[in-house]
A and B are shown apart, each in its own frame.
Chain A
C-alpha cells in the first residue's frame, strides 16, 4: 500500500533534502513525496487531489504571502482530519502555541530529525491502513 506526503516550503532545496532522505521509501513505493513552494500552491494541489492517499502535510511556517499558520487554518477548514505538522527554524513559544491552537499534529524545529520523522510517518501510515 502506498501513501502520499505533501511538503510545503518556499526553499526549494527542502524538496531535494526530503527526496534524498526518503529515497528508500520512494524506491520501495511505500511513500510518494509531493512538494509545494507556497501556501497557495499547497491549497491548489489539495484541491486538484493528491494520489495515492495523502496522510500528512508538513509545512514550513515562515513563508512569503500565506504563511504556514494561515495555511494550517485553511487546511483544517477543508480537511479537519488530515494531520498537519508544522516545521520551523524558530521554535518560540508564541508560534508553538498558535500551531497547537490551530490544530497542528506536531511542531518540529529545524534542523529536522529525519529518523524521528520517519518513525512518526510510519505510525501515521500504519494508522491509515
Chain B
C-alpha cells in the first residue's frame, strides 16, 4: 500500500471547493485533502478546510483519516448491495423464465421459493401462496385435488415420499388433465430439497408417434417380406414348371420312337410268325416249343415296353400341361355348378375305379356367388385334382387304422368375397405333415406309391390358379385330422401365365 505522503494532491477534484454558478465561492484560508482508498485504489478524496490560516493538528488529521476509512466501507457496502439487488433481479427473471417449474422446500420443509412456471404447471392459484405452506400441506393439497389418482390417500403419499427426501430421483406422472409431467427431486446440502417439474406431454406424444410410426413401418416391412416370399415362391414354382415342361419336350420325341418301334415290333413279330409258320411246322417238337417260347417272351417284352411307354407318355403329357400357358378358353361361369360337376365327376370316377370306395360329401355352396370369368376346363382340372387327393387321404385313413367310428368326409365350400371368390376343399383324411407342406406344389413331389401318382397334379393346379388366374392356393392341415385347400380367384384375375 502506498503511503499518504506519496499520493498526488487531488484537491481540485473535490466539488465542494469548486466555485459553482449561483453559489458564493467559499472563502477558504487553508485546506487539507485526504484520499478515500479501497484496497490501493483511490475512489475519492475527503477535504478539510478552514477560514483561518493555521495548520491542522495530527489528531484532527487522524480523525479525518478514520472517517475516510469508514466512508470507504459505507460506500463499498452500498455498491455491493446494489450489485446484489441487481443480481437478484436477474436471477428472478431467469428463475421465472425457466422452462421448468421449480419449487424449493427448506430444511424445515417449508415452501421457501418457487417460480412462475411451477405455479402455472401445477395450476396453483395466487391464493395458495397467500398463506405459508410446507411439504405436507402441499402434498395434501395436491392429493385432495386428485393429482395422485381419484382415490389416493395423502398420508400414504407422504409415507411413500418421506424416506426419499435425501435422494436424487425422478419419476413421471399423469396429471388429472391428462398432461404428463416429470418430477425431479434434488436434495440440498443443508437439508430441504428442490423439486423440478417438467411438462413432457409433447415429448411423450412425439415418442408415442415415433413408436407408432416405427410399429407401422415394421408391419409394412413384414408385409413386404411376406409378399417377397410369395413372389419368390411363385417365381420358383414358375421356373420349376418351365423346367418340367422343357424336360417333357425333350423326352417326348425319343419316347415316341420307343412307343412307335415297340408297336411296330409287335406287328413284325406277328408277321414273322405267319411267314415262318410252314417252316416251323416241319421242325421237331422240341425246337418248335423253344421257338414258340422265345416268340412268346419277345411278344410279352414288347407289350411291357408298350405298357411302360404309355405310362411315360402319360407323365410327359402331364408335364407338358405346365407349358400350356393361358391357352384355356375363358368365359363367365357359375362357379357352384362347376364345383358341383367336378365333385360328381370325381366321385363317380373313384367309384368306377374302386367299388368299395365310399365317402360322405358335404356341399356348402354360397348361393350368392356371382358368375366369374375363368378358364372352366383348367379350373375343373384343379377341382378334380384337389377332390381326388381328398378322397385318397380319407380312404387311406379309413383303411389305415382301426378307427371304428371314422367316417370319411369331404367338404366343398364356396364363398363370394366380393373382389374375389373362394373355394375350399376339405377332407378329414390322413393330413399333411408340416415338414412336407413346402414341397406340395413342386413338380414330381408325391407321397403316393410309384405308379399311383406322378406328383404333377398339385404343381399343375398351382400353375393354373396362380399363373393363369392370378389367384392363390393355400393349404392348412393337421396330421391325422384334416387337410384343407383354399383357392382364391380374383374377379379381375389377369391371366399372368406364360405361353410357350
| Interface of A toward B, CB cutoff 8 Å | 11, 13, 17, 20-21, 89-90, 92-94, 110-112
Q: Are B253 and A11 in contact (CB under 8 A)?
A: yes
Q: Are A110 and B327 in contact (CB under 8 A)?
A: no
Q: Are B256 and A110 in contact (CB under 8 A)?
A: yes
Beyond A90-B249, A92-B327, A92-B500, whether A111 also contacts B264 by CB under 8 A is no
Total count of chain B residues near the partner, CB < 8 A: 15
A89 vs B245: C-alpha distance when bound (angstroms): 13
Closest CB in chain A relative to B492 CB, distance in Å = 24
Q: Are A17 and B261 in contact (CB under 8 A)?
A: yes
Q: What are some 22 contacts across the A-B interface (CB < 8 A)? A: A11-B257, A17-B257, A17-B260, A17-B261, A17-B264, A20-B261, A21-B264, A89-B249, A89-B252, A89-B256, A90-B249, A90-B500, A92-B324, A92-B327, A92-B500, A93-B327, A110-B253, A110-B256, A111-B256, A111-B259, A111-B260, A111-B313
Is B84 interfacial (CB-CB < 8 Å)?
no
Q: CB-CB < 8 A to A112: which residues of B?
A: 260
Q: Considering residues B249, B253, B327, B499, which has the most beta carbons from chain A within 10 angstroms of its beta carbon?
A: B253
A89-B249, A112-B260 known, 18 other contacts, Cβ within 8 Å:
A11-B253, A11-B257, A17-B257, A17-B260, A17-B264, A20-B264, A20-B268, A21-B264, A89-B253, A89-B256, A90-B249, A92-B500, A93-B327, A110-B252, A110-B253, A111-B256, A111-B259, A111-B313
Q: CB-CB < 8 A to A89: which residues of B?
A: 249, 252-253, 256
A60 vs B500: C-alpha distance when bound (angstroms): 18
A92 vs B245: C-alpha distance when bound (angstroms): 13
- B window 284-327: CB within 8 A of A: 313, 324, 327
Name which residue of chain A comes closest to B500, CB basis.
A92
A94 vs B268: C-alpha distance when bound (angstroms): 37
Closest CB in chain A relative to B241 CB, distance in Å = 16
A20 vs B500: C-alpha distance when bound (angstroms): 33
- B window 317-351: CB within 8 A of A: 324, 327
In the A-B complex, list the 9 residue pairs whose CB atoms are closest, starting with the nearest. A111-B256, A20-B264, A89-B252, A110-B256, A17-B260, A93-B327, A13-B257, A89-B253, A111-B259
Q: CB-CB < 8 A to A93: which residues of B?
A: 327
Q: CB-CB < 8 A to B264: which residues of A?
A: 17, 20-21
Name which residue of chain A comes closest to B255, CB basis.
A111
A13 vs B313: C-alpha distance when bound (angstroms): 19
Name which residue of chain B comes closest to A9, CB basis.
B253
A108 vs B361: C-alpha distance when bound (angstroms): 42
A90 vs B259: C-alpha distance when bound (angstroms): 17
Name which residue of chain B comes closest to A112, CB basis.
B260
